[in-house]
A and B are shown apart, each in its own frame.
Chain A
């Protein structure tokens, strides 16, 4: 049973998210006893050398299509052809905007079942079952597919990169006639960075401050710690209401919902209105002087102590460690 994975490249590199998907595709293909194919679409910067590196992550064959990059619909055309020409049973995406758009387009094109925001995939009864969380991560649904192919769109960064395979993959060019509607969108500017916006939803590391900081100046401490960790500062509703930090950084029932790799909470009690906004974080560290604070019930590492003593020292220690 063969699996076709989409890999996004940007500025001459495949991103972490795509490589994770490629690794996962390879792992699953192996379990099912099939081939691991990868599709890449773009222009001349998709050199043979670059494409072949996907072999390091387990790809057997790389199908390369020529079309403007950054748009989903040309990729749908390419993948639909590759899937029907080669009999791939599953199409796998690592999430991200294009992953979702392409997967959704393929759903229509091939009349296929699709599962979105997948956090894990397992081989079961000779096929694949996708797991996805629902209801604010309070339950996990196992979804199976009827007929083929099946489309699996992962949550961003759900799949881990893993080196496997002997290093190089066969690169094959795909000759595809793009659909008429796939040529009706034109990229004018791609990937513009707008630094001013603090997007806490995309950050891997968040340092969040609450009332326990004592005063608005406490956020300076949080900012320094965030800097040292390479993260971004967030805030609870209470301190945003009090004017200590901007609304754009608010997390909680009425603020943003986040799921970073590390959520470090300083001076936050962990009331449920805040918990629902960050409970899916992978690693939760809490620093609070009240040992009965509810946050200690769901943190992975709880530190009972005075954050004014701990946070500055922690910042120094991390800077030293990182060198």
Chain B
């Protein structure tokens, strides 16, 4: 089985996130890191390999991003991927969800994976469920928010967490599975693995290499545009009650809650 893990480089959680008022996009200067959700995906791939239920020939980390994204790939490799693929091209800058999903699908096509794993969302809050976009292009079954994966015969038995409860779904391979962070506790890379990551095979690909049509990606290929960035609506100043007569205070609180239909 060949597993491809889609990873993304995102601003480090500790870095103060701000919008660049000029480009109206997320200011991406400052520390970057491998998207924490993706570490769960890599761990899931490793557990499938180590579980012994199926032979995993390779785990390939794949990313689409600017030059600096190679660091995310190094991290993915130090966590266990065997090699990595970096799709990078100026033409891709400014791609929205639609364009990104298409580009990722094309680079994955060139790898012909049996299973694609990725994190549920990216820490920069830009997109959730890009796995579902990619899966439709690849014509593979897809599930998101998966918190348990079992391999049985050529199928995956997955449990996923929905807002109405837990579903158990069988999925035939090849498939695209997005994992939730509850699925596992990612391992820490050993120093040897970290130092060895630089030496593992890293293939760079441009849009031309994987057959991406230029007019379907980048800013021109995007189908949404940011019109404005506004501060949130100002919050009404809150009310303060000083408790003197507790019975009265409690009455006031109850009517306040009722007014807002919170006692339904």
Contact = CB atoms under 8 A, between A and B. Distances in A.
Asked if A and B form a direct contact in the complex, defined as CB atoms under 8 angstroms apart, the reply is yes
A180 interface: yes
Interface of B: 17-19, 24, 26, 96-98, 101-102, 105, 125, 127-137, 139-145, 157, 160-172, 175, 216, 222-233, 235-236, 238-243, 246-247, 249-251, 253-254, 256-258, 260, 262-263
B102 A205 contact: no
A143 interface: yes
Interface of A: 10, 15, 17, 70-73, 76, 96-98, 100-105, 107-109, 111-117, 129, 133-147, 150, 156, 179-182, 184-194, 202, 205, 229, 261-262, 283-285, 291, 296-306, 309-310, 313-314, 317-318, 321-322
Nearest to B233: A140
A305 B246 contact: yes
Contacts of B26: 134
A192 B167 contact: yes
A17 B164 CA distance: 11
A301 B253 contact: yes
Contacts of A98: 162
Given A180-B139, A262-B262, A313 B247 contact: yes
Nearest to B138: A181
Given A101-B144, A145-B224, A310 B262 contact: no
Nearest to B19: A139
Given A185-B170, A303-B249, 16 more contacts: A103-B129, A104-B101, A104-B131, A116-B127, A117-B125, A117-B128, A134-B19, A138-B231, A144-B224, A145-B225, A190-B167, A194-B166, A303-B241, A310-B249, A310-B253, A318-B263
A318 B254 contact: yes
B163 A96 contact: yes
B238 A300 contact: yes
Given A142-B228, A143-B225, A185 B251 contact: no
